Each structure stands twice: as C-alpha cells, then as structure tokens.
Structure 1
Amino acid sequence: MSDSCLSTCCAGWDAHVHVFDASSPVRSGHYAPLERPLTQIEATAQTQGVRHLVLVQPSVYGSDNALLLQALAVEPGRHRGVVVLGDEVSDAELDAMHTAGVRGARMNLVSPVGESTDPARRFAMLAPGLVRRGWHLQWYTPAAQLPLIAALHRDSGLTCVLDHLGGLGAHIADDHPAWSAVTALAEQGAWLKLSGWYRLEAPAPYHALVPRIRRLAALFGERMVWGSDWPHTGRTPEETPTYAEVWQPVVDALGETAAQALRQRRPSIYA
C-alpha cells in the first residue's frame, strides 16, 4: 500500500488488541507476556488499512491500567481503551481515564486471573459509574454465562459488548440455550466482537466459524466490531496467525464489501 493511499484510506478500526511491557509485573498463575509495544501493532495494522486501535487491558495486569493509559497518551484521541477496574476505583480516576480515551470496562469470566468471582456483585458496583460516563461493559465469557449477562443488562441502561463471539464457538450446538440468551442481548442493543477465533475451538483458517459469524451477524447487524486479538496471548510463534488471517473469516462470512464497511466505520461505543 502506497504512502499516499495510507494517508487517505487508513482509517479502519481494530477493536481488540493488547500491548505488553515484558518488564512490568504480572499476576502469577497465567502466561508470561513478551514485549509487544504499541508501535509494533500500529505498524502491523497500518499495512491492512487500520489506523485506530482499541487497547484492551490484559488479564495478567489486573486493574493496573498504567501501561494501557501510557499507550493512549502517545497520540491523544487516536485510539480508545477498555480497562479492568478494581473495587475501590474513584470517580476522579474514572474521569481521568475517560479523558485519556477509555470508553469501557472489561469483565473476564474465562482467564484464571480474571474477574469471575461474583460477577453480579461487580456488575452492581460498576454499572452506575459506567452508565454516567456513557461507557460499556465488555464481557469475556463462556457461552454458559450468557443468560446471566442478559439478565444483568436487562433494564440496566448499560451497553453490553461481548468479546470473541460471546463464547459461541464451534463446539456450541446450534440449539444450545446460549443462543436464546444472545438473541435477547442483541434485542437489548448489545454489541458483538468478531474476534478471538483461536479461542473458539476452531483450527486455522477458521472456516468452521463462518456459519456462526453469519448467524450472529443476522442478530447484531451494524452493532458489530472486528478485533484481531493481537498478539494472540499464549500462542507459540508456530501457532500465531498473521494479521490478514484473522481478518479473512469476516470477509468469508459477510462478503468483501460489507466486511470493509464494518472495519472502516467508527463504532459509536468508541466515540
């Protein structure tokens, strides 16, 4: 792609990436991240016409969002962030995060160092502050938890975003009860991330997920975003897909025109 083309058409969004500093302290009991700086993913994404990133707090850093906030500050306004919040976060801290470009908080019900203990309590604690700031709550969840998530968000006024197809991977039957819950969430105005293919029991190049993406696209319509899930935590170099490879299932499912329109559109949840 030429420099002139990049300057005019590189406006796309990758709604799920992580940045890592190998020297930063991490929670024990999970993976040990390698050095993966913001400049590396910016350069990688730009080759595919993507300029804007949503930096998602990795579970290994817990609620210490310092690295994410530092990355957002490099070029204010270019990227957005989704943080993990501790129980004692103050209004002043939330306001400062909003100014920095944060637009959501994450609940992780999957990782061994996530926030799976009493998610209903944490939802009740976090929801009022998120609603006041127009943030969303992003869930990394197994499909079995979707009924709980639908119940929590119902009439809450808080926008729900589901990571990684809401856990509806290739191993989930077409008549699983989770489909009723995800339908209810879509009807409530939830958003869906087309991301995390390798987390969904589907081998590369992820053809098994194409019918699943189409079924979910029929529910969520334009309330979908794509995320590369770079740098694919826990993968060996041999297992790590290329940036283009994790985009291709969206093209296969939606068609080139619709897929490009999805990636080029600035999602309202990141306004």
Structure 2
Amino acid sequence: MGQGLVNEAPASAWDAHVHVFDAARPVAPGHYQPVHRPLEAIEALAQAHGVGHLVLVQPSVYACDNEVLLQALAREPGRHRAVVVVDAGVSDAELARMQALGVRGVRFNLVSPVGNGAADLLALAPRLHALGWHVQWYARSTDLPSILDWHRRTGLPCVLDHLAGLHAALAGDDPAWACLGDLLALGAWVKWSGWYRLGAEAPYTALQPALQRVATLATQAGERRGEAPRLVWGSDWPHTAFTPDALPAYDSVWQPVLQALGPQAALAVREAGARLYA
C-alpha cells in the first residue's frame, strides 16, 4: 500500500520538518545511533494524511555530511525540499548541486551540545543571499535576541524551528515575545513543530496559549505586509526524542494546529510550504 501511495500525485499540503536516516551511515562523534528511517516511509505516511511534500532537515547526527538527505531528494526531483548543515568551507559547486536538488536553506543548531552553532553565518551570508536561501534556527527562546541581531546584520530570511523555542512555561511578559514580534516584522517564519521539545505532553494543551499568541503576532505582521501569516507546520518525524516503539501518531502532532486555529486557517498553514520553499 505504501508504494502505491508514493506513486499517486502528491497531495498539496506540506510537512516542513522531517528527518531521514540511513543506519549504515557513520554518525558524528558524541551522537546517538539512529534507527533506519528512509524517505519512502515518511512519504507513504504523510500522503495517507493528505501531505504530499516534505522538507528534509539535516539532523545533527550527520554534521555537515548531507549525503543521506541529498540522495533522498534525488529519488524524485522537484517534489521535496531540504535544509542542510554546512560550514564556511563548502564549495560553490556543492552549494549549486544542493540548490539543483531542492535545498533552500541552512540550519544552525544552538540547542544540541554537539550542534553546529552560528560561527559560520556571517562568512556564509553573501553566498546564501546569492542562492536565495534562508537560515533555519533550532534555538531556545533566550537565543532570540542574538538571532534578531544576526538577521538585522545579514538581511537573510529567517525560519524559527519548533515554535521559536517558546515553551509551555514561558511567562507572558518574557522579553522573548517582543523579540519574536521584531523578527516577524523582519519577515521571519515560525515553524509549528516539536511540541514535546517545549515542555508539553500529548495532547499538548499546555501550549495552546503560546500557539494562539504566535498566530496573533504572525497575523498582525502579515497584515502589515498584505500577506498571509508566515507559519508552517512540521511533524518532526521520526520523533527522535522518543524510543522507536513509542512514536507519536502522525495526526497527533497536527491536532494542536487545528485546535489553535480552526480548520480553514490550519489548512493554510499546512499549505504555506509552497510559499516558503518555492
């Protein structure tokens, strides 16, 4: 059944945050050994839920070795997009190859103790501008002031993973909220994903106030630009925070979006990947 689903015309909706793993591929020192999770598995699962396009995000386990992700993109050119991890030494030829395969951004990880940090951002910025790529941040809410400063300095588009780190216990008057407003005014996107990374448990009701506040801020920023809110959704499959036999159901990480926004606005979020990853 899975192969048949993959062969159907892709549904229009986007899952903007998934990872693929090859258990035979070496991982960077200090990382966990991932379970084998090929592209065709998430394609079939997502398509069964009306999602035909994926954004493959380079996991920290492979550092700057993006080959698993790039080989997955090459299976069906043009269908999916990706965000890679590179350093300042990456060649122009390699960046061009990535662009042709569907890469549209570079990720910086400020959360993992073995993440790549942001030391190479300023050196990479001119080349990212030339490619039209964005910068994707996996960061804590306390990192938002630094991210705001980087984007004011570089002018690069910004995507904030996992609700910009705005966790369930964040106070309503925390400075991160004002900083998020400034980032949205600069054109930042917020990715609705990774609920279990934000101090919440299924069904993630503890995050509903934060989701609704982010939606309001994004809507206001969009209205000032005359466009829809810059929000996308990602499942975070295969949910590396969980053991392989206890993964959340695919639909369970979509329900918080429906609950916060209602069906019509939620559908717009799920289709907004067509705008961000064109």
Q: What's the TM-score once normalised by structure 2's chain length?
A: 0.91
Q: Deviation per CA, 1:92-139: give whole Å up to 9, x if none.
A: 1111110010000000001122113xx2x4221121111111100000
Match of 2:270 in 1: 263
Partner SS state of residue 37, structure 2: coil
- The one-letter amino acid paired with 1:90 is S
Q: Which residue of 1 aligns with 2:40?
A: 39
| C-alpha spacing 1:86/1:145, structure 2 compared with 1 (3 Å) | same
4+ long deviations beyond 3 Å? 6-9
Q: Secondary structure at the match of 1:74?
A: coil
> C-alpha distance in 2, partners of 1:101/1:57?
13
Look up the equivalent residue of 2:274 and give its one-letter code. P
Residues 224-259 of structure 1: CA deviation (Å, up to 9, x unaligned):
100000000131146421100000000000001111
* Preserved contact between residue 39 and residue 72 of structure 2 (Cα < 8 Å): yes
Q: What secondary structure does 1:154 align onto?
A: helix
Post-superposition shift, 1:31? 2.0
Is 1:179 aligned to residue 157 of structure 2?
A: no
**5+ unaligned residues in a row in structure 1: which ranges?**
none
Distance (whole Å) between structure 2 residues aligned to residue 9 and residue 258 of structure 1: 21
Structure 2: which amino acid aligns with 1:40?
A
Q: Structure 2: how far apart are the matches of 1:267 and 1:154?
A: 25
Would the aligned equivalents of 1:29 and 1:112 in 2 still touch at CA under 8 Å?
Answer: no
User: Quick one: distance in 2 between partners of 1:263 and 1:39?
Assistant: 20
Residue aligned with 2:26, SS? coil
For residue 181 of structure 1, report the CA deviation from its aligned partner.
1.1
- The alpha-carbon deviation at position 19 of structure 1 amounts to 0.2
Alpha-carbon separation, structure 2, partners of 1:265 and 1:147: 26
Q: Distance in 2 between matches of 1:38 and 1:98?
A: 19
Match of residue 83 from structure 2: 82
Aligned AA (1:59): S
Inter-partner Cα distance in structure 2 for 1:265 and 1:146: 23
**Bigger mean CA offset, 75-84 vs 19-28:** 19-28
Aligned partner of 1:219: which letter?
Answer: L
Residue 197 of structure 1 is matched in structure 2 by 195
Count the aligned residue pairs. 266
Which residue number in structure 2 is paired with residue 225 of structure 1? Answer: 232
Deviations, residues 130-150 of structure 1 (Å, cap 9, x unaligned): 111110000000111100000
* Structure 1 residue 248 corresponds to structure 2 residue 246: no
Structure 2 match to 1:73: 74
Identity %: 57
Q: Deviations over 1:46-67 (max 9, x none)?
A: 1110010000000000000001
Following the alignment from structure 1 to structure 2, what is the Cα–Cα distance between the partners of residues 138 and 58? Answer: 12
2:241 to 225, 228, 234: 234
State whether residues 31 and 234 of structure 1, in contact with CA within 8 Å, keep that contact through their aligned partners in structure 2: no
Matches of 1:208 and 1:26 in 2, distance apart? Answer: 35
134-143 or 21-30: bigger deviation: 21-30
Q: Counterparts of 1:11 and 1:24 in 2: how far apart (Å)?
A: 31
Distance 1:225 1:66 in 2: 25
**Distance in 2 between the 1:103 and 1:9 partners?**
20
Letter in structure 2 aligned against 1:58: P
Find the counterpart in structure 2 of residue 153 from structure 1.
151
Q: What does residue 186 of structure 2 align with?
A: 188
Instruction: Name the structure 1 match of 2:123.
Output: 125
**What secondary structure is seen at the aligned counterpart in 2 of 1:107?**
strand
Whichever residue aligns with residue 74 of structure 1, its letter is R
Q: Which amino acid aligns with 2:276?
A: I
Q: Distance in 1 between matches of 2:43 and 2:19?
A: 11
Structure 2 spans left out of the alignment, 5+ residues: 220-228
Structure 1 letter corresponding to 2:33 = A
Determine the C-alpha separation between the residues in 2 that align with 1:60 and 1:204. Answer: 26
Distance 1:24 1:234 in 2: 20
The one-letter amino acid paired with 2:104 is: R
Q: Which moved more, 1:54-63 or 1:175-184?
A: 175-184
